[in-house]
Homo-oligomer: A and B are copies of this chain.
Amino acid sequence: MADKAAVKQKFIDNFDPLVDDLLAVLRQYNISPEATEWFKKSLYYNSVGGKLNRGLSVIDTYKILTGKNELTDEEYKRAAVLGWGIELLQAFFLVSDDIMDASKTRRGQPCWYLVPKVGMIAINDAFMLETSIYILLKKYFRSEPYYIDLVELFHDVTFQTELGQLLDLITAPEDEVDLSKFSLAKHSFIVIYKTAYYSFYLPVALAMYMAGISSPEDLKQAHDVLIPLGEYFQIQDDYLDCYGDPAVIGKIGTDILDNKCSWLINTALKKASPEQRAILDENYGQKNNNCEAKVKTVYKEMDLETDYFKYEEEAVGRIKSLIDNVDESRGFRKEVLNAFLAKIYKRQK
């Protein structure tokens, strides 16, 4: 659908006035033009360029919850502020994650900290991306009764994501391979905290507050489906990293090289014979294509792809029955959850 590009473009167009709002704060403080330009460059470099699925989800969810096909400009703009809030949160996490992981590229361009003159200043730039969220919430939502709920939701999800990062960083440091630290239980935990909360629960919860459908019971219903959905999404991601088509995904997977605590390695560890385990111990997480090939050979021997397909059917069945049981009597809609599931099920990228 040609529509999809237009939908994304409309959302991107809504970023410019938000950047203006943020730069206006700097001008009000009489910050030098040099520093203002720097911040502007960081905002665009780090927030735009991805798929923007998280931000767009706020708008889609709000439409479903209110039953509106078209939003007024004002309504769209406010939903877009919340959507860009998530994208800024993600930018904050990605800029710093790339430093912590010593990554080279992100979204097809050098990581921000590798851009000439940036270096470790990127850490402070990441902070400013995060703080921008609260400047925008204050400007656009201060007079709403649910303003403090939005602020607390961002704080809570930020902390959850930081906890996921911490566990990931101490479980799978890039320079110290120790597969005995891995387990499917840890994987599940890392994935839920590091990804599911901010990518799945956050956009829906934000839209729920804005739509006024935000009783604790309805928020819990959303949470209880979106967290397993987010876990399924990340396991797909781990699967596609190894088995997806790089031409379709747009990048070559590096999870094996990078010692990632991926669903595949954790499943392999559970099934491995002593001989296979020795090969995995020796070759996983080595920055070496030969080692990577040996790990992939073990995966093939074990037929991990079939394990993945089994997992996927089980997970999707479970999520569907959770959705079936959602109570719509207070205003929450199953369609919100089905729309997420439909976007994800059997995705190729």
| A163 to B127 Cα, complex, angstroms | 10
Q: Is B170's CB under 8 angstroms from A158's CB?
A: no
The smallest beta-carbon distance between A141 and chain B, in angstroms, is 11
Chain B residues lying within 8 Å of A115, measured Cβ to Cβ, are none
Q: Contacts A134-B155, A148-B147; is A162 near B123 (CB within 8 Å)?
A: no
Chain B residues lying within 8 Å of A189, measured Cβ to Cβ, are 30-32
Q: Contacts A38-B170, A167-B31, A167-B32; is A96 near B121 (CB within 8 Å)?
A: no
The smallest beta-carbon distance between A309 and chain B, in angstroms, is 29
The smallest beta-carbon distance between A325 and chain B, in angstroms, is 24
User: Is residue A53 within 8 Å, beta carbon to beta carbon, of the partner chain?
Assistant: no
The closest CB in chain B to the CB of A135 belongs to: B159
User: Is residue A152 within 8 Å, beta carbon to beta carbon, of the partner chain?
Assistant: yes
User: Is residue A151 within 8 Å, beta carbon to beta carbon, of the partner chain?
Assistant: yes
Chain B residues lying within 8 Å of A135, measured Cβ to Cβ, are 155, 159
Chain B residues lying within 8 Å of A29, measured Cβ to Cβ, are 160, 163, 193
User: Is residue A297 within 8 Å, beta carbon to beta carbon, of the partner chain?
Assistant: no
User: Is residue A35 within 8 Å, beta carbon to beta carbon, of the partner chain?
Assistant: yes
Q: Contacts A38-B170, A170-B34; is A163 near B100 (CB within 8 Å)?
A: no
User: Is residue A186 within 8 Å, beta carbon to beta carbon, of the partner chain?
Assistant: yes
User: Is residue A25 within 8 Å, beta carbon to beta carbon, of the partner chain?
Assistant: yes
Q: Is A120's CB under 8 angstroms from B100's CB?
A: yes
The smallest beta-carbon distance between A225 and chain B, in angstroms, is 19
Chain B residues lying within 8 Å of A31, measured Cβ to Cβ, are 163, 167, 189
The closest CB in chain B to the CB of A158 belongs to: B131
Which A residues from 187 to 202 make CB contacts under 8 A with B? 189, 193
Residue of A35, A100, A134 ringed by the most chain B CB atoms within 10 A? A35
Q: Is B34's CB under 8 angstroms from A127's CB?
A: no
Partner of A159, one of B25, B126, B151, B166: B25
The smallest beta-carbon distance between A303 and chain B, in angstroms, is 31
User: Is residue A39 within 8 Å, beta carbon to beta carbon, of the partner chain?
Assistant: yes
User: Is residue A66 within 8 Å, beta carbon to beta carbon, of the partner chain?
Assistant: no
User: Is residue A215 within 8 Å, beta carbon to beta carbon, of the partner chain?
Assistant: no
User: Is residue A165 within 8 Å, beta carbon to beta carbon, of the partner chain?
Assistant: yes
Q: Is B134's CB under 8 angstroms from A166's CB?
A: no
| A99 to B100 Cα, complex, angstroms | 12
User: Is residue A128 within 8 Å, beta carbon to beta carbon, of the partner chain?
Assistant: yes
Known A32-B186, A35-B163; 14 more pairs at CB < 8 Å: A25-B159, A29-B193, A30-B189, A96-B124, A99-B120, A100-B124, A121-B170, A124-B165, A124-B166, A124-B169, A127-B162, A128-B159, A128-B163, A135-B159
Chain B residues lying within 8 Å of A35, measured Cβ to Cβ, are 163, 166-167, 170
User: Is residue A177 within 8 Å, beta carbon to beta carbon, of the partner chain?
Assistant: no
Q: Is A166's CB under 8 angstroms from B131's CB?
A: no
| A151 to B152 Cα, complex, angstroms | 10
Residue of A29, A127, A131, A169 ringed by the most chain B CB atoms within 10 A? A127
